[in-house]
Amino acid sequence: MNQSVNELIRLAKKSNQKAQLALYDLYAPKMLSTCRQYIKDLQFAEDTMLIGFQKTFQNLNKYEPTGSFEAWLRKIMIRECISYLRIRKNKFDVVEVYDHHFSVQVVENFDETLQDVQSAIDKLPVGCKTVFNLFVIDGYKHKEIAELLKISVGTSKSQLAHAKSLLRAQLAHLKPNNYGIR
């Protein structure tokens, strides 16, 4: 598969529309899922993904095959989502959290459905949701998040803590699992 992806990329770099369509068909479901993590409305997430693919094909010559194409594409999608959120909100809704201590509880046998979790994430304020997704889902470090979002490292950390607190509160009402743990 990797060899066929590399061949599609090589052809797509030459503006071969069939190769571009094949790459789109191959990666669109995963990239829509990525965009959906950041953007609640499915239509806006789809629009953002399409813009991301357009930018991908415009900048395909910058891709170096030494790394994963999917990871490179995912970075483009994440940056496009952040651009969309900036334009839409004109700024992130940053909630400052001072002198609060949040205990991190390990949740075992988490049996809530993906929809329940996604719904809870969707209810987070934009700033909290973005930092949460970048840190927890996409594996960015606080320093990288701060640079990407143009916020301080401390703000990134407080947004993550606040997001976790809000998620715990939103998911607390769900029934306990077989071990009595929520």
Domain boundaries, the chain: 2-89, 92-182
Per-residue pLDDT tens for 120-160?
A: 888 899 889 999 999 998 899 999 999 989 899 999 999 99
Structure tokens at 24: 């789109």
C-alpha 128/C-alpha 161 separation (Å) is 9
Do 95 and 123 touch, CB atoms closer than 8 A? no
3-state secondary structure 137-174: HCCCCHHHHHHHHCCCHHHHHHHHHHHHHHHHHHHCCC
Instruction: State the greatest distance between any 2 C-alpha atoms of the chain, in Å, as a whole number.
Output: 58
Residue 64 predicted with pLDDT over 80: yes
Q: How confident is the model at residue 89 (pLDDT cuts 50, 70, 90)?
A: low
Per-residue pLDDT tens for 17-44?
A: 999 999 999 999 999 999 999 998 999 9
Amino acid at 32: L
Q: How confident is the model at residue 172 (pLDDT cuts 50, 70, 90)?
A: confident
Domain 2-89 has CATH 1.10.1740.10: yes
Percent helix / strand / coil, the chain, rounded to 5: 70, 0, 30
Out of 3.40.640.10, 1.10.10.10, 2.60.40.10, 3.20.20.70, which CATH number does the structure's domain 92-182 have? 1.10.10.10
Entry pTM: 0.68
